[in-house]
Amino acid sequence: GALVYQYPRRTICKSGTSMRMECQAVGFQATSVAWYRQSPQKTFELIALSTVNSAIKYEQNFTQEKFPISHPNLSFSSMTVLNAYLEDRGLYLCGATTGRDTEVFFGKGTRLTVV
């Protein structure tokens, strides 16, 4: 079956430092990978959508300078939170799809705590 793994599941970083998280697709080709953030008591905000061989599209309020994303192949994507501060804490979710109108598969998320 199709699965998405996210690493790490939980992480703590000091304010002002950076933290990298990974998303691994197993059993299907992740043509498109979307990264979301769920801040405490809030819904999931789309950060950016990455499609292999296309430019990464960032949503308003999110920038490549703050959340650089790599999507080098059809099974892997990573995102870094640069200079993390309190407002960056939350659950970061990646959702991957083949992009051919099939289901989007979500990982279990990386929970980021900033201290």
Pairing of strands 19-26, 44-51: unpaired
Q: Stretches 17-25, 45-53, 67-75, 76-84: which one binds other proteins (CB under 8 A)?
A: 45-53
Which residues ranging from 65 to 104 are in contact with other proteins (CB under 8 A)? Answer: 91, 93, 95, 97, 99, 101, 103-104
- At its nearest, how many Å lie between other proteins and the CB of residue 26? 16
- Distance between CA 110 and CA 115 in Å, rounded? 16
Smallest gap from Cβ 28 to other proteins, in A, equals 13
Q: Which stretch binds other proteins (CB under 8 A): 12-20, 22-30, 44-52, 75-83?
A: 44-52
Total chain residues near other proteins (CB under 8 A): 21
Residue owning tokens 């296309």: 54
Rounded distance, CA 14 to CA 110, Å?
A: 16
Give the count of beta carbons closer than 10 Å to the beta carbon of residue 46.
16
Kind plus residue range of the DSSP H or E element containing 90? strand 90-97
Find tokens 């430092």 and name the residue.
Answer: 17
**Toward other proteins, which CB reaches closer, 15 or 103?**
103
Tell me which residues touch other proteins (CB under 8 A). Answer: 32, 34, 36, 42-46, 49, 91, 93, 95, 97, 99, 101, 103-104, 106-109
